[in-house]
């Protein structure tokens, strides 16, 4: 099971940290991705992190330089730190897990999904 938290209303230029807490499996052994779904749009990849053996991190488009994905093995949790937020970052954010060593910035490989947390960037 994956449970996201940390979303809310954020002003443009602000920051927020999303959490993805896992239970029933060890996040060290899975590739974990973060995804965003804006109203009326398809779900898209934002960032992902390889399993702990590889630990590579990857970012899509505008997330580069603004977002940071990380893993806390002791808490079995993956985080997405988002900075310099703008209204285009608004959407429901989901984390997902894939039983794979290397993560991918695509929706289809991921088997396990959380319920999502809403991030709204607005003044």
Query: Which tens digits make up the pLDDT trace of 47-93?
Result: 999 999 998 999 999 999 999 999 999 999 999 999 999 999 999 99
Q: What is the pLDDT of residue 47?
A: 98
Residue 6's pLDDT band (cuts 50, 70, 90): very high
Q: What is the mean pLDDT of residues 36-56?
A: 94
- Report the mean per-residue pLDDT for the chain: 96
For residues 25 and 12, give the distance between their C-alpha atoms in angstroms, rounded to a whole number.
Answer: 36
For residue 12, give Cα distances in angstroms to 32, 33, 123: 27, 24, 6
Of 96, 91, 31, 26, nearest to 57 (Cα)?
31
């Amino acid at each position: 099971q994956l449970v996201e938290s940390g979303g809310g209303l954020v002003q443009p230029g602000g920051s927020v940290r999303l959490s993805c807490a896992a239970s029933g499996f060890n996040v060290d052994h899975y590739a974990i991705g973060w995804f965003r779904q804006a109203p009326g749009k398809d779900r898209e990849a934002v960032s992902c992190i390889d399993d702990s053996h590889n630990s590579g991190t990857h970012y899509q488009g505008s997330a580069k330089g603004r977002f940071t994905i990380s893993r806390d093995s002791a808490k079995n949790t993956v985080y997405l730190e988002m900075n310099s937020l703008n209204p285009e970052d608004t959407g429901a954010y989901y984390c997902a897990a894939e039983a794979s060593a290397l993560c991918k910035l695509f929706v289809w490989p991921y088997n396990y999904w959380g319920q999502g947390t809403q991030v709204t960037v607005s003044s």
